[in-house]
Structure 1
Amino acid sequence: MTRALRSSVFRADLRRVLALGLPLIGSHVAQYALTLTDAVMLGRYDVTALAGETVGGALFFVLFIMGSGIAWAVMPMVARADGAGDPTQMRRATRMGMWLSALFTLFCVPIFVFATPLMNAIGQEPDVAALAGAYLGVLGAGLLPALWVMVLKSALAALERTRVVFWVTLAALPVNVLLNWLFIFGPGPLPEMGIRGAALGSLLVHLASFAVLVVYVRATLPERAVFARFWRFDGEAFAAVLRLGWPIGLTNLAEVGLFSASSVMMGWVGTIPLAAHGIALQITSTAFMVHVGLSNVATIRAGNALGRGDAAGLRRGAVVVIGVSGAAALATITVFLTLPETLISLFLDPDEPARAEVLAIGRVLLAAAALFQLVDAAQVLALGLLRGVQDTRVPMVIAAIAYWGVGAPLAWALAFPLGVGGVGIWLGLAGGLGVAGVFMMLRFWRGRAATG
């Protein structure tokens, strides 16, 4: 291949990555912004309520991201079928993905019912535990529609219908802000519900988003008949989605569980450090959504290449999407190091008594977060590529060892026995993510990418 031809192919790949990636990035940022707006508005309502949302929201997010393993299994299956010209697989994989999401939700019900005792058992302060339990008692009902939204989004993204995924998620954001204002603060005759109001607003948004996507799928993909005979069990597709999805779910659990464990450990440090941690975590998680969107692009393109039997396209697409992700990580590092107080101030009332202390702690935490931006991007991109070629079990093992064999123990050791405090927890996170990033990239480039 001549240099001019290579350049032309690269530009075409870059255009396709951006065309797919920008709507997916926007969708993930907007999706996470639903939780972000809860934190921003509760931070302006009461710092203790923010601490309750931090630990309660972390638990909900753990369950949501674990259940999303099913949705993310649907994506490479539909992408591969689309590349191979087999349209019936969308219907089969999507319906059984929704079945599995419903079963997963049933297993989560006791966690929501007994959330307050659970928070007390893991050492949270009583008032924070009670608020977290109140938050989850309402928001728990939103887990199933949230997971079904993810299944439909994954199927549509795999078919490269990413714009509707973006617009539906983006439209939910101002609705969530409005509902939060009405339910949290209770203007006029409305009751002031505080943290329960934030949960109720998010619940209604999840239900509305699911309804809109159902209408869209039925109107634009009637030939796929996604919801026809929904009650009919498809054993082969059920097993295929489960086989691919459970390792993805456990991999998600390993990573998100590590960050949730960091919230628990920060709660042992104190309420003010926990509030600062919650703000820093919201900011870094929002930036991380950029790489999650690009990871989805990697999954879709790798799945298409696998369906076509195109080994060169697989490698070329991987190089392009990793390069875009690396550029985004460098931009994030710059922002975290130069504008920490501006970002943190978005979450705080100007008259908050603990404002100065939260700003001081949050500034240090964002500096620590800058350390792991590149490796965090590397590990999620590698996961997306490996999922695209339907390699999920070995990455699950790598994740478990990196996050829980390295990251969590290192965070605890630095924070408590070695006396580094809250920033030590974040340095431990950086260590675990670094190990995961290195070994997952090696898995892809020395494995499927090397052999085709």
Structure 2
Amino acid sequence: MLLANYTKEFKYNLQLAFPVMLGMLGHTFVAFADNIMVGQLGTAELAAVSLGNSFIFIAMSLGIGFSTSITPLTAEADAEGNVEKGRSAFKHGLLLCTILGVALFLLILLAKPLMYYMDQPPEVVELAIPYLDLVAFSLIPLIMFQSLKQFSDGLSQTKYPMYATLVANIVNILLNYLLIFGKFGFPQMGIIGAAIGTLVSRTIMFLFLWSLLKMNSKARPFVSGLTRIIHNSMIKKIISLGFPSALQMLFEVAIFTAAVWLSGVLGKNPQAANQIALNLASMTFMVATGLSVAAMVRVGNQKGLKDFFNLKRIALSIFFLALLIEIAFAVFFWIFNEWLPTIYLDENDISNQIDNFEVISIASKLLIIAAIFQISDGIQVVVLGALRGLQDVKIPTLITFISYWIIGFPVSYYLGLYTSLKSSGIWIGLLAGLTTAAVFLYIRFNFLTRKLLKT
């Protein structure tokens, strides 16, 4: 009976999270499609996309993390029936995300020369530089889209971002096919074609979601009647929640980006293998991210209602659901670790056969470690979502920094570059950081909810 108090929430949790999962998987599928198509060009091209995207992932983490501040504010306003408060969160959130998107684009342009000083393979850097220019510009529509997505999630309208992402994926795959390989009279552009596909699809994604929200009866009152008046109080509120949330996501994404760079020091084949394993792990992580949004929305709703008993019960039900799903993914990675990397590379390509076999061998070992850290990674991101729903962001930011950069990165650096473990050692460091974060974030959540229940 006690267990049923939690499992009975599974159905609604999944209904709320499932569209988010599909939408987030759609983001990752853009990279998945790029990697598979670019992988047919060679391991140097695949490593170049990995290196270029490592810069993009850092910027994306700041933008996406910052935008998450819009969700709990919208969820709280929705539970209170306060349209004006929700409209203000939407308007100011969109404004700040647009400014941030432009700033991140300019920052990446300034940071490009760093590639030459990172001890990366020269042929990889030469391919990555022009690819990065176009993909960096796509950050502007992507982060603007994120502001709309987080608002829509806060209203529990999670299907609309999913629809927009699915449309964007269709456009991206079509343009990739036409432009990477030069089909049906289009120029053969290689990885530049992949970059163009990403830019166009992300622009369409933002415009499509905006049109859906304007037509939705629940969202329309919030996105209509916007004035030019700026309220400093809401700006400060969004920044106070968004900045620490951006840092939380930055600390996690940055350690995975560091894994890309450390792998590049080992060579182009370890870097390509790292990209394959990371892309696969990212897709399962998006499922946990969907549950994280469900936790943020449902905890934010219960906070608005001041129902702290059900707040904790619902949050624990989501944690339990995430644990079960991640265990299933861990088993999948463990069983198919040798087959999954072959999706990305052509084993019969005679000219690249030696490189391809080495990449597949390294990636299969990394997937064994990824199988284990699926569980820690899923738990930490779902608990983070619940803490954001409580609008608790400062202490979790400190926890993520210590977990990833005081514990995880030194382990990755030492084991990867100074032991025979090499690529596997880098990923053992990731496992150490994620597990530390999962444990201490849960302790933080338990502490806060026990305190709320006593009030």
The offset of 1:358, in angstroms, is 1.1
The corresponding residue for 2:279 is: 282
Q: Distance in 2 between matches of 1:111 and 1:196?
A: 20
Task: Say yes or no: does 1:416 pair with 2:417.
Answer: yes
Q: Is the 8 Å Cα contact of residues 90 and 226 (structure 1) preserved in structure 2?
A: no
SS of aligned partner of 1:372: helix
Give aligned-pair identity as a percent. 31
Q: Distance in 2 between matches of 1:60 and 1:339?
A: 29
Kindly provide the CA deviation profile for residues 144-202 of structure 1, in whole angstroms up to 9, marking residues without a partner as x: 11011111111111111112222221222222111101111111421111111101101
Pick aligned residue for 2:246 from 245, 249, 253: 249
Q: Distance in 2 between matches of 1:94 and 1:34?
A: 27
The offset of 1:8, in angstroms, is 6.8
Structure 1 residues 30 and 266: alpha-carbon distance in aligned structure 2, compared to 1, 3 A threshold: same
Q: TM-score, normalization: structure 1?
A: 0.95
The corresponding residue for 1:120 is: 116
Which residue identity lines up with residue 218 of structure 1 in the other structure?
A: K
The corresponding residue for 2:137 is: 141
The offset of 1:246, in angstroms, is 0.1
Structure 2: give runs of 5+ residues left out of the alignment: none
Kindly provide the CA deviation profile for residues 275-322 of structure 1, in whole angstroms up to 9, marking residues without a partner as x: 011000000011110101100100001000100001111111112111
Which residue identity lines up with residue 152 of structure 1 in the other structure?
A: L
SS of aligned partner of 1:391: coil
SS of aligned partner of 1:45: coil
Structure 1 residues 183 and 449: alpha-carbon distance in aligned structure 2, compared to 1, 3 A threshold: farther
SS of aligned partner of 2:418: coil
Task: Say yes or no: does 1:53 pair with 2:49.
Answer: yes
Tell me the C-alpha RMSD between the 2 structures.
1.6
The offset of 1:111, in angstroms, is 3.4
Structure 1: give runs of 5+ residues left out of the alignment: none
Q: Distance in 2 between matches of 1:109 and 1:103?
A: 10
Pick aligned residue for 2:33 from 29, 32, 37: 37
Which residue identity lines up with residue 376 of structure 1 in the other structure?
A: D
Which residue identity lines up with residue 372 of structure 2 in the other structure?
A: L
The corresponding residue for 1:298 is: 295
The corresponding residue for 1:163 is: 159
The corresponding residue for 2:188 is: 192
Pick aligned residue for 1:78 from 74, 78, 84: 74
The corresponding residue for 1:355 is: 356
Structure 1 residues 449 and 256: alpha-carbon distance in aligned structure 2, compared to 1, 3 A threshold: farther
Equivalent pairs, count: 448
Task: Say yes or no: does 1:385 pair with 2:386.
Answer: yes
Structure 1 residues 356 and 392: alpha-carbon distance in aligned structure 2, compared to 1, 3 A threshold: same
Q: Which stretch of the first structure deviates more once superposed, 107-116 or 421-430?
A: 107-116
The corresponding residue for 1:264 is: 261
The offset of 1:90, in angstroms, is 2.2
Q: Is the 8 Å Cα contact of residues 314 and 449 (structure 1) preserved in structure 2?
A: no
Q: Which stretch of the first structure deviates more once superposed, 72-81 or 336-345?
A: 336-345
**Alignment of structure 1 residues 20-35 onto 2, 5 Å:** 20-35=16-31
Q: Is the 8 Å Cα contact of residues 368 and 427 (structure 1) preserved in structure 2?
A: yes
Q: Is the 8 Å Cα contact of residues 334 and 371 (structure 2) preserved in structure 1?
A: yes
The offset of 1:414, in angstroms, is 0.9
The corresponding residue for 2:397 is: 396
Q: Is the 8 Å Cα contact of residues 298 and 385 (structure 1) preserved in structure 2?
A: yes
The offset of 1:115, in angstroms, is 4.9
Q: Is the 8 Å Cα contact of residues 9 and 317 (structure 2) preserved in structure 1?
A: yes
**Alignment of structure 1 residues 234-245 onto 2, 5 Å:** 234-245=231-242
Q: Is the 8 Å Cα contact of residues 52 and 132 (structure 2) preserved in structure 1?
A: yes
Structure 1 residues 448 and 198: alpha-carbon distance in aligned structure 2, compared to 1, 3 A threshold: same
Q: Which stretch of the first structure deviates more once superposed, 416-425 or 396-405?
A: 416-425
Q: TM-score, normalization: structure 2?
A: 0.95
Q: Distance in 1 between matches of 2:371 and 2:7?
A: 30
Task: Say yes or no: does 1:95 pair with 2:96.
Answer: no
